[in-house]
Amino acid sequence: MIKMILKGVMMGVANIIPGVSGGTMAVSMGIYDKMIHAATHLFSEFKKSMKILIPIVIGMGIGIVALARMIEFMFARVPFQTNLLFIGLIVGGLPAITGKVKGKTIRLSHILAFLIFFALVAGFAMLGEQEGTAADLSFSMVNVIKLFGVGVVASATMVIPGVSGSMMLMLMGYYNPILSEINSFIDHLVRFDVPGLLEGCKVLVPFGIGVAAGIFAIAKAVEIIFERFPEIAYWAIIGLIVASPVAIFLMNSFGTITILNVVTGIAALALGAFISLKLGEE
Each residue of 162-221: pLDDT tens digit? 566 776 676 666 777 887 888 888 888 888 888 889 988 988 899 989 988 888 878 878
- Cα(163)–Cα(138) distance, integer angstroms: 28
Quick one: pLDDT band at residue 158, thresholds 50, 70, 90? low
Residues in Cβ contact with 28 at an 8 Å cutoff, skipping those fewer than 6 apart: 89, 90, 92, 93, 94, 96, 241, 276, 279, 280
- Cα(108)–Cα(112) distance, integer angstroms: 6
- Cα(82)–Cα(74) distance, integer angstroms: 6
The answer on pLDDT for 19 being more than 60 is no
Per the structure, the count of domains in the chain is: 1
- Cα(149)–Cα(129) distance, integer angstroms: 23
Look at residues 26, 8, 22 and name the one whose alpha carbon lies nearest to residue 168.
Answer: 22
Taking only the tens place, the pLDDT of each residue in 218-251 is: 887 888 888 889 899 889 888 877 887 887 777 6
In the chain, the N- to C-terminal Cα span, in Å, equals 13
Give pLDDT, residue 264. 95
Amino acid at 34: K
What are the CA-CA distances from residue 18 to residues 53, 101, 180 (Å)?
24, 29, 15
Task: Find out whether 16 and 159 touch, Cβ atoms under 8 Å.
Answer: no
The answer on pLDDT for 140 being more than 50 is yes
What are the CA-CA distances from residue 258 to residues 8, 59, 85, 264 (Å)?
33, 35, 17, 10
Instruction: Write out the residue range of the structural domain in which residue 267 sits.
Output: 2-280
Q: Mean pLDDT across the stretch 53-69?
A: 81
Taking only the tens place, the pLDDT of each residue in 254-269 is: 777 899 999 999 999 9
The answer on pLDDT for 128 being more than 60 is no
- φ/ψ (deg, to 5) at 53: -75, -40
Cβ neighbours around 256 below 10 Å, total: 7
Quick one: pLDDT band at residue 112, thresholds 50, 70, 90? very high
- Cα(48)–Cα(119) distance, integer angstroms: 37
Helix axis angle, 68-77 to 79-91, nearest 10°: 120
Residues in Cβ contact with 111 at an 8 Å cutoff, skipping those fewer than 6 apart: 235
